[in-house]
Amino acid sequence: MILSCADLCRQLDLPPPTPPLPDLTGVATLAAAAPGDLCFVEALDQHGAIAASAAAVVLAPLDFPEPIPRNVIRVPKPREAFFTIAERFLPPPDYSGIHPDASIDPTAALGSQVTIAPGAVLAAGVSLGDGSVIGPGVYLGPCVEVGRHCVIHANVTVQRDTRIGDRCIIHSGARIGGDGFGYQWDGSGHRKVPQLGRVVIEDDCELGSNVCVDRATLGATTVGRGSKIDNLVQIAHNVRLGEHVIMVAQSGIAGSTRIGTGCIIAGQAAISDHLRIGDGARVGGQAGVTNDVAPGAAVNGTPARAVGRNLREQAALGRLPTLLKQVKRQQQLIATLESRLAQLEGSGDPEKGG
């Protein structure tokens, strides 16, 4: 991939630099850049680092101070501009077209310009949108719907009736639409409750490796538009995630909980069932949430509580060894005083002689 500096400026709506800068062949950090790489800086004191770098072009803030190195282009938002250009350097799919070793049911409906890798299985009634890519070993169960321009990486399993919106990315090993964890005690054992619902993943979502999203008992388990789910996350049956939710690795949500729009759930946080987490709430790492969380609130700890309260309690816990020593000394002093008082009471009042 070669990108001319003129094309870069055109994409960023900038005038071309004078004199022209070299063509770009990749992207990198400033320290690791090779000739031909594009980099960016956000700090204003990077003249020395830029001079020491082999980068062909460096994107810097508009207020980057003089003197401006000749390979620097000033832009309003360097990080955002950098990643806009970096998308141009994404590698192409490993496969193109429909591989003869894919198993595709005759009733499957395939859009235009789809890619289906070897070993993929598309069951009866599958619908695959235009430009979508299905990696090797992917299983799409009966009546699964996949939207346009999705990428489903190797060895993903998507069970029956699941609907995936447009421009979704699902990474290797994810399991979508498996039965929810539903059982009913019947007096002699745990009787399985039929899981008859589905999973709906809305547009522009990304699910990391080994994410599990269980189908609903009835209705739908929903991942809202624009949500980003990290690796090893568990989303139980009938959970509803709002739009643009972030869930970090190893977090989990129990059944029928509602997560509001724009929430952030940090790593290893656990959220109990049938709760309501309000819009914009933040759940800290390893938090154990057992009650509803108000919109915009920030909680952590186990059981989860307001961050400020939790920090005060944690600080108090750190003082416990010292406080215990103080209490022990007070107890010893009290015991000494009680002993002396008992002696005085036993000897009578010395001023009242016989």
Fill in the DSSP letter of residue 278: -
Catalytic, 237? Answer: yes
- 174's CB contacts (< 8 A; 6+ apart) are 156, 157, 207, 208, 209, 210, 211, 212, 213
Catalytic residue among 190, 237, 244, 274: 237
Tell me the sheet residues that pair with 192.
Answer: 183
Phi-psi region of 82 (alpha: psi -120 to 50; beta: other; left: phi over 0): alpha
Fill in the DSSP letter of residue 89: G
CA dist 223 and 79 (Å) reads: 28
What is the end-to-end Cα distance of the chain in Å, rounded?
114
Fill in the DSSP letter of residue 236: -
Q: How many residues does the chain have?
A: 354
CA dist 24 and 92 (Å) reads: 17
Cβ burial 251-283 (10 Å sphere, 16+ → b, else e): bbbbbbbbbbbbbbbbbbbbbbeebebbebbbb
Q: Position of tokens 């198993």?
A: 103
Cβ burial 167-184 (10 Å sphere, 16+ → b, else e): bbbbbbbbbbbbbbebee
Tell me the sheet residues that pair with 198.
Answer: 220
Q: Which residues are catalytic?
A: 237
